[in-house]
A and B are shown apart, each in its own frame.
Chain A
Amino acid sequence: GNSVTQMEGPVTLSEEAFLTINCTYTATGYPSLFWYVQYPGEGLQLLLKATKADDKGSNKGFEATYRKETTSFHLEKGSVQVSDSAVYFCALFLSRGQGGSEKLVFGKGTKLTVNP
């Protein structure tokens, strides 16, 4: 089946540190890949996406590159801020035309805390 595995948290960093959150996937076709962010008490916000191999998604200083050969979509940021503290979810999407069912499949989430 289709699944997403992301690194277990929690992750605690100091401000301005480098961030990597690993994400790998298993899929029957060629999925679109996403990172969502959830701030405390809120819903999920789309952070970035990539729809085909070698695409790089980027937003707010975060980046992730769709690596088909390693089935990965690792999230990176060069210098984190306290305001980046949140839970980050990696997800994949396969349309019916790709053998999926139009739904997002999520990893379990990685909680990031950034200290001043």
Chain B
Amino acid sequence: NAGVMQNPRHLVRRRGQEARLRCSPMKGHSHVYWYRQLPEEGLKFMVYLQKENIIDESGMPKERFSAEFPKEGPSILRIQQVVRGDSAAYFCASSPQAVTYEQYFGPGTRLTVT
């Protein structure tokens, strides 16, 4: 059973470009969470999605950030017009429907904005 997959593992963008981060949950998992880890910090919750629904986006910056989890395909975290402060590791986690506290993490995407 493959784990949570994220790609790309490393992403370099210039200021003003768009960054797209992908997450494929574990097989059978219908809940996806995105977290951001800034240098020397713990992980901060960004958004919680189920298929075709955003359940909680209270941790998402109000501008430039969006997330989706379509009926088919991976979950996407999109950052428009990136700035240096967006440089971080972005982790995706997934959980089965019945046990949302059992969250399994992917390896992360390390975004560097130059």
Whether A43 lies near B107 (C-beta < 8 A) is yes
A43 and B91 in contact, given A32-B101, A95-B100, A101-B58 (Cβ under 8 angstroms) = yes
Count of chain A residues near B, Cβ 8 A: 23
Q: Output the nearest chain B residue to A36 by Cβ-Cβ distance.
A: B105
B43 touches A (CB below 8 Å): yes
Whether A89 lies near B42 (C-beta < 8 A) is yes
- Main secondary structure on chain A at its contact with chain B? strand
Residue with the greatest number of chain B CB neighbours at <10 A, chosen from A45, A51, A95, A106:
A106
Whether B56 lies near A101 (C-beta < 8 A) is yes
Within A2-43, which residues are at the interface with B (CB < 8 Å)? Answer: 4, 32, 34, 36, 42-43
Q: Which residues of B contact A82 (CB under 8 A)?
A: none
Whether B56 lies near A95 (C-beta < 8 A) is no
Q: Which residues of A contact B93 (CB under 8 A)?
A: 44, 104
Contact of B105 among A32, A43, A93, A102 (CB under 8 A): A43
Count of chain B residues near A, Cβ 8 A: 27
Whether B48 lies near A107 (C-beta < 8 A) is no
Q: Which residues of B contact A4 (CB under 8 A)?
A: 42
**Interface pairs (18), CB distance under 8 Å:** A32-B101, A36-B105, A43-B91, A43-B105, A46-B102, A89-B42, A93-B101, A95-B101, A101-B48, A102-B31, A103-B59, A104-B35, A104-B93, A104-B103, A106-B35, A106-B42, A107-B42, A108-B42
13 extra interchain contacts, Cβ-Cβ under 8 A, other than A95-B101, A103-B45?
A: A32-B101, A36-B105, A43-B4, A43-B91, A43-B106, A43-B108, A46-B102, A89-B43, A95-B100, A101-B58, A103-B48, A108-B42, A109-B42
